Structures are given as C-alpha cells and as structure tokens.
A = this chain, B = another copy of it.
Amino acid sequence: MPSTPRERARVDTMRRILESGNRQLAEQGAAALSLRAVARDLGMVSSAVYRYVPSRDDLLTALITEGYRDVAQVAESAAAGRAAPGRRFVALCEAIYGWAREHPHRYALIFGSPVPGYRAPQDTITDAARTPAAAIQLIETAWAAGELDDPESPPASAGLRRQAKELRTALGTQLPEAVLLRFAAAWTQVFGVISFDLFGQFVGSFEPGDAVCAFTFRTAARTIGFRD
C-alpha cells in the first residue's frame, strides 16, 4: 500500500527518527532526548523533524508505546511454556528484570517518575495492560487447575473490594477478588524491587541486586499463592 516512493521515503524517515530517538534515550536518558540531537544524528535540519513528529512529547509518547510493547512481548514469551505456572511467573518477573537491566532508560521512562507536564494518552494503556495480563493468565491457569494456594490475606476495605470487583468484570476473569488483591500487592512488589535496584536505592545494602530481586520474585509468587 505504500506505493509511491515519496511515501516510502516518509515511513523510512519516520522509522529512522524513532530509531535515533531510542538511541538517544538509551545513551543519555529521557531528559537529554532532544529533537535537535535526533536531527543532527540523522543529518537533517531540526525543523525538518517537526514534519514527522509534532513535538518532543509526541516523540516521547511514541517511544513509550514502543517500550510497553517491547516489555510485554518479552514478558509474554517468558510466560509461555509448559512449566508449572509458579515457575513461569518467576520467569516472567526475571524477564522483565532482564529487559529493565538491558534498557534502564526505557524502563525509567515507563515505570519511573512521569515526565512533568506529560500525560500518557489512552492507547498506551492497552499496551501497558499486556504485561500484567500475561501474569494474570498464569494465575488463572494455576487456579483452574486447583494449584493455587489461598494464603491468609489482610482484610480489604469495602472500597477496595468494590474496586476489585469492578476490575474482575473489566478483565473478564473468573479469579476471586481476593486473588486479584493479592496479585496487586505482589505485582507492586515485583516492580518495587526492580525499581529499587535500577534507581540505586540498594546502594550500600543489597548490591548487586539480582539476588534480592530473585528472592523477592519468589516471595511475590508465594504472596499470590503459587506453590514451589
């Protein structure tokens, strides 16, 4: 469909802009991402880039979306296989962790402090939901097979139970609300420990952080109710 050579040149330039942006991101971080640098990198004038990307924030959005898709793909392929769901959950966590260590700036862009004045558009949410969805599917597998324990949980407030119920219908899952709550607590644990490691909060205590991450991933799995 991209018949005309002009159009082909356009999509190619667009792809090169995204590539260069990702390079900038990986090398110097989000704050150093500048359209001028992208233009320099590509050997074109800065104003020309604005024909492809409306603004710097839009370039950031494009890179964020790409990052969400990337990490989701990594997580999904790690969750595949025939191993026990609990082991696959830990593998999923380790896959996210590996991706994060490989692309710390992209991880920070997605799961770190939001860039001020930037509001993630709605369509990023669907991509963002893919990763937790992969984890939830593992939980469902274990639950359907009756392999999910039911560890004692703290009491949930009425408001929280309502939120969980709404989420249950929104996800279209059969899982009990209590499991969803435990998943939420465990999920924040997974990203909490990854962020602690990547953002330097373990400096002076658990360094390097891969061991404490692995331990925490297993702790999170137990929190959910996975065996083994």
A→B interface (CB under 8 Å): 28-32, 105, 108-109, 111-117, 120, 125, 128-129, 152-157, 159-160, 163, 167, 170, 181-182, 184-185, 188-193, 195-196, 199-201, 203-207, 211-212, 214-216, 218-223
Contacts and interface: CB of A to CB of B under 8 A. Distances in A.
B112 A113 contact: yes
Nearest to A181: B215
Contact of A205 (B29, B167, B189, B212): B167
Given A108-B114, A195-B195, 11 more contacts: A105-B116, A112-B199, A125-B203, A154-B215, A154-B218, A154-B221, A157-B211, A160-B215, A163-B212, A167-B206, A185-B220
Contact of A114 (B160, B190, B199): B199
Given A192-B189, A211-B159, A113 B113 contact: yes
Residue of A109, A113, A160, A170 with most chain B CB atoms under a 10 A cut-off: A113
A214 B116 contact: no
A125 B215 CA distance: 24
A210 to B, nearest CB: 8
A116 B33 CA distance: 11
